[in-house]
Amino acid sequence: MSAPHFVIAGAGIGGLTMALSLARRGIASTVVEKRTGFGESGAGLQLTSNSGRVLDALDLALPLKRVSVSSHGLMIRRWRSGSELLEMPSSPERMPTPFRMLKRSDLHTVLLDAARAMPNIRLMVGRGVQEVSQSENGVSVTLSGQSGTGETIQSLGLIGADGLWSRVRDLTGDPSPPVFTGYEAWRAVVPARAVDKPRVTLHLGPGRHAVHYPVDGGKQINIVVVRQAKEAREGWSRDGERRIVTEHLAGASPALRELAGAAEGWQVWSLFDRKPAAMAQGRIALMGDAAHPILPFLAQGASLAIEDAAVLARLLAEKLGSEGAAGVPAAIASYAAARARRVARVQEESRGNGRSYHLGWPLSIARDFALKRLGPEGLRNRYGWLYDWRDEG
Mean pLDDT of the chain: 93
Buried b (16+ CB within 10 A) or exposed e, 154-177: ebbbbbbbbbbbbbbbebbebeee
pLDDT at 233: 78
Distance between CA atoms of residues 243 and 306, nearest Å = 37
Q: Residue 319: which pLDDT band, with cuts at 50, 70 and 90?
A: very high
- For 10-19, what is the mean pLDDT? 97
Helix or strand holding residue 140 (H, E): strand 139-145
Count the Cβ atoms, other than its own, within 10 Å of residue 56: 15
Which residues lie closer than 8 Å to 308 by C-beta, 6 or more apart?
14, 18, 287, 288, 291, 335, 339, 343
For residue 194, pLDDT beyond 80: no
Helix or strand holding residue 131 (H, E): strand 128-134
pLDDT at 92: 64
Count the Cβ atoms, other than its own, within 10 Å of residue 100: 23
* 99: three-class secondary structure by DSSP: coil
Distance between CA atoms of residues 214 and 110, nearest Å = 18
Which residues lie closer than 8 Å to 32 by C-beta, 6 or more apart?
7, 8, 9, 10, 11, 124, 127, 128, 129, 143
Q: Residue 38: which pLDDT band, with cuts at 50, 70 and 90?
A: low
What's the CATH superfamily of 5-69+102-178+274-357? Answer: FAD/NAD(P)-binding domain (3.50.50.60)
- For 348-377, what is the mean pLDDT? 95
pLDDT at 225: 97
Is 213 assigned a catalytic role? yes
For residue 290, pLDDT beyond 50: yes
Helix or strand holding residue 303 (H, E): helix 301-323
Cβ neighbourhood burial of 193 (10 Å; 0-12, 13-18, 19+): exposed
- For 70-82, what is the mean pLDDT? 95
Task: Please write the tens of the pLDDT for every residue from 118-158.
Answer: 999 999 999 999 999 999 999 999 998 866 567 899 999 99
Task: Please write the tens of the pLDDT for every residue from 157-178.
Answer: 999 999 999 999 999 999 889 9
Report whether 226 contacts 353 (CB < 8 A): no
- Confidence (pTM): 0.95
pLDDT above 70 covers a percentage of the chain that reads: 94
pLDDT at 1: 40
Find the range with the poorest average confidence among 241-245, 282-286, 330-334. Answer: 241-245
pLDDT at 89: 87
For residue 37, pLDDT beyond 80: no
Residue with more model confidence, 311 or 151: 311
Q: Which of 213, 335, 357, 387 is catalytic?
A: 213
Distance between CA atoms of residues 113 and 110, nearest Å = 5
Domain locations along the chain: 5-69+102-178+274-357
pLDDT above 90 covers a percentage of the chain that reads: 84
Total residue length of the chain: 393
Distance between CA atoms of residues 159 and 262, nearest Å = 41
- For 214-218, what is the mean pLDDT? 93
- For 222-229, what is the mean pLDDT? 96
- For 84-100, what is the mean pLDDT? 81
- For 353-372, what is the mean pLDDT? 95
Distance between CA atoms of residues 327 and 324, nearest Å = 6
